[in-house]
Amino acid sequence: MRKSAGFTLIELVIVIVILGILGAVAAPKFLNLQGDAYKANINALKSSIQSAANLAHTKAILLGQDKGSAAAVDIDGTNVAFYNGYPIATNTGILLMLQDHGSLSSSYTITPGTNVKPLILSPKNRDTSAATDNDKKCQVEYTQARAEATTGGGEDGNAAVTETKTATVTAFTKGC
């Protein structure tokens, strides 16, 4: 009798089926790692911007420039534009507060803000700055501080009252 060396056809089929099942279960877990990385990156950028805004606001309070418009506040040799004690939503404001602000444009699409529109930073490979649905966005928005006039708040009921809104930072990660 001859001794055979190797595997039978049924053994090979079973191994292939097991590998197929493992691939079907494990592949989706690994396919979304890029999305998870973008989410982590967006959340880290949000935290950096929030910390920079808080530090800048503290500096403005110490200098007595936390009310109304201030031309610029010197922060470590850099003149940062402020409004109501927070950096404005442009490249002369909050972006100057970030340590590597020069390299941001190589990784992010930057849409400068105004006093009514937020500054938007979205990864270049996942640019969702034009998205209107928050579930499709992968970006950080910095809304600068502003003053809003409301009517009917005075003692006579008709005088305008100015309400100050602080700067806000929002991360949208569902579109990552």
Average pLDDT score over residue span 60-64: 88
- Spell out a b/e string for 17-46, using b for 16 or more CB atoms within 10 Å of the CB, else e: eeeeeeeeeeeeeeeeeeeeebbebbeebb
Mean pLDDT for all residues in the chain = 84
**Which residue's entry shows tokens 């100015």?**
162
User: Burial, 65: exposed, middle or buried (Cβ in 10 Å; 0-12, 13-18, 19+)?
Assistant: middle
What is the rounded CA–CA span in Å between residue 150 and residue 147? Answer: 10
Q: Which one, of 138, 140, 139, lies nearest residue 176 by Cα? A: 138
Q: How sure is the predictor about 88, in pLDDT bands with cuts at 50, 70 and 90?
A: very high
Q: How sure is the predictor about 129, in pLDDT bands with cuts at 50, 70 and 90?
A: low
Element holding 92 (H helix, E strand): none
Residues facing residue 140 across a β-bridge: 121, 171
What is the rounded CA–CA span in Å between residue 3 and residue 88? Answer: 82
pLDDT on residue 147: 75
Q: For 38-84, what is the HEC assignment?
A: HHHHHHHHHHHHHHHHHHHHHHHHHHCCCCCEEEEEEECCEEEEEEC
Which phi and psi angles does 136 have, rounded to 5°? Answer: -110, 5
pLDDT on residue 156: 56
Of the chain, the percentage scoring pLDDT greater than 90 comes to 34
Q: Which amino acid is at 35?
A: G
Q: What is the pLDDT of residues 11-25, one digit of tens each?
A: 999 999 999 988 888
